Chain A
């Protein structure tokens, strides 16, 4: 493995909501051009970790570096300007806006008007259904179409790093396969991916490396192949499914 500087580096990051610690002492790296999976049971803190990187949740300790410069403590609107796009859990599309307007909002950080229009065209070829539904309100799209829109909207900001939170949530296998096929090709477009997924085998199919999170902590990491054969992966899932993060007052160190 090369020793170049990672695109994203978390070092001892702790964050949560008021007294609740949802991510504890997390350290991870994502190198440019990689797809990295972040796996873990419900409530493990995966979404919180992504939101912390994106700036929606403030870390209480640790560093977050993007391409060598600190981004922790910045506002979400500044972090996206540095090339980090979070596609939130549950998609978070703007259902009262048209598909076209959703795409336009995705490019809100960019100034190159002409290029934005061509990019929107490209999204419509990447996801033909979005082209057909262009003038329709996004709220009227099906779940799968909404997920495609959410991905396309994130791509519109031309991110260096995409944080994807459960893109397969609630979708039929055929649609999931289609979306993952698209995700696999993201590094070719110069987009690095940190992917949170419940569907372990799918995620490890497209990822080169992965981390496993349980009870607010990163407990395991390795290449996709290593993780796939790790016997205790199952245990991490089953064993910690009921764990909830403890309040800082009693559980803090």
Chain B
């Protein structure tokens, strides 16, 4: 493989990885503060997608549709917390997981009933499908935008989590919820905040996801939640840097198998990547960057 091919694939890893990282972060944040792996998180991506779809087919400009898509995902995330998960505070991991799974199925069927059971195409700005030639590398604008947006979101989130009192409170609550409350951190507020940021991240990732795939469908949330779940677990569930690392590791594994597998076994590249991930977990059962302290 030539150097330029390697460079090309590295860019693919970066662009896919930053989408996964954003998705994983949103999942990990909520897990941190309330021990919930929110299976309905994928449906936030779907909500973004449908908002953008419904708006663009009605002639709303792309930029506005993007903003509304992200906003609706955020609101939906907050509503999920209020309606479904607040009654389940302090429930076990299993109960929370089942509840979010059920919520996910409810939402998928709502989409099916209200919009359409079929896959719908969605057209982004024409620029995204064009490419840029840099030396030997052909880089699509989609990749560039993804990497830039991903990097910007990661930087902003890091600044927020490290620099603001709200961010520090959230990290404190993730480490030890009761002691955080003893410090005066309001339980309801910190959990709501986690859901808001989680919704924002799902929205941003959703815009990237839909722009890349060019389509929306009721069950489309499954793949994003799957990737996010995998990424957070390999990174070490509960660790935010782990979620980012996990996202990039997963992307690298997927691209690696796409590159090395012969065409005849190409359809199995995702299963292979998953096997690799399970193998990683065999050697590091708590993930790559497992948080040391446990929740109380």
Contact = CB atoms under 8 A, between A and B. Distances in A.
Direct A–B contact in complex, judged by CB atoms less than 8 Å apart: yes
Interface of A: 54-56, 75-77, 80-81, 85-86, 88, 92, 94-97, 101, 104-106, 108-109, 139, 153, 157
A81 B292 contact: no
B185 to A, nearest CB: 6
Contacts of A56: 178, 181-182
B184 A77 contact: yes
Nearest to A100: B168
A94 B182 CA distance: 12
Contact of A92 (B171, B179, B184, B292): B179
Contacts of B293: 95-96, 139
Interface of B: 165, 168-169, 171-172, 175-176, 178-187, 291-293, 296
A48 to B, nearest CB: 13
A105 B185 CA distance: 8
Interface-centre pick from B179, B180, B181 (highest chain A CB count, 10 A) = B179
Contacts of A75: 181, 186-187
B44 to A, nearest CB: 26
Contacts of B187: 75, 77
Given A76-B178, A88-B179, A92-B176, 8 more contacts: A80-B183, A88-B178, A92-B178, A97-B168, A97-B175, A104-B165, A105-B185, A108-B165
Contacts of B176: 92, 94
A141 to B, nearest CB: 13
A157 B184 CA distance: 9
Nearest to A163: B182
B170 to A, nearest CB: 11
B292 A101 contact: no
A82 to B, nearest CB: 10
A135 B221 CA distance: 41
Given A94-B175, A105-B172, A108-B169, A88 B180 contact: no
A54 B175 contact: no
A104 to B, nearest CB: 6
Contacts of A101: 168, 172
13 contacts: A56-B182, A76-B178, A77-B185, A80-B183, A86-B182, A92-B296, A94-B179, A95-B175, A95-B293, A96-B291, A97-B168, A106-B183, A139-B293
B183 A157 contact: yes
A80 B184 contact: yes
Contacts of A80: 182-184
Nearest to A116: B165
B168 A104 contact: yes
Contacts of A108: 165, 169, 183-185
A211 B192 CA distance: 41
Contacts of B183: 80, 105-106, 108-109, 153, 157
B175 to A, nearest CB: 5
Contact of A97 (B172, B184, B291, B296): B172
B182 A97 contact: no
Nearest to A56: B178
A156 to B, nearest CB: 9
Given A101-B168, A105-B169, A139-B292, A96 B175 contact: yes
Contacts of A88: 178-179, 182
Nearest to A157: B184
A77 B186 contact: yes
B182 A109 contact: no
Nearest to A101: B168
Nearest to B179: A92
Contacts of B296: 92
B168 to A, nearest CB: 5
A194 to B, nearest CB: 15
Interface-centre pick from B165, B172, B182, B292 (highest chain A CB count, 10 A) = B182
Report, nearest first, the 9 A-B pairs whose CB atoms are least far apart.
Answer: A109-B184, A92-B179, A76-B181, A80-B184, A94-B172, A108-B184, A77-B186, A101-B168, A94-B175
A111 to B, nearest CB: 11
Contacts of A139: 292-293
A55 B182 CA distance: 8
A105 B167 CA distance: 10
A81 B184 contact: yes
A69 B250 CA distance: 56
Nearest to B167: A101
A144 B92 CA distance: 34
Contacts of A94: 171-172, 175-176, 179-180
Nearest to B190: A77
B179 to A, nearest CB: 4
Interface-centre pick from B168, B291, B292 (highest chain A CB count, 10 A) = B168
Interface-centre pick from A54, A77, A80, A104 (highest chain B CB count, 10 A) = A77
Contacts of A109: 183-184
A16 to B, nearest CB: 16
A109 B181 CA distance: 11
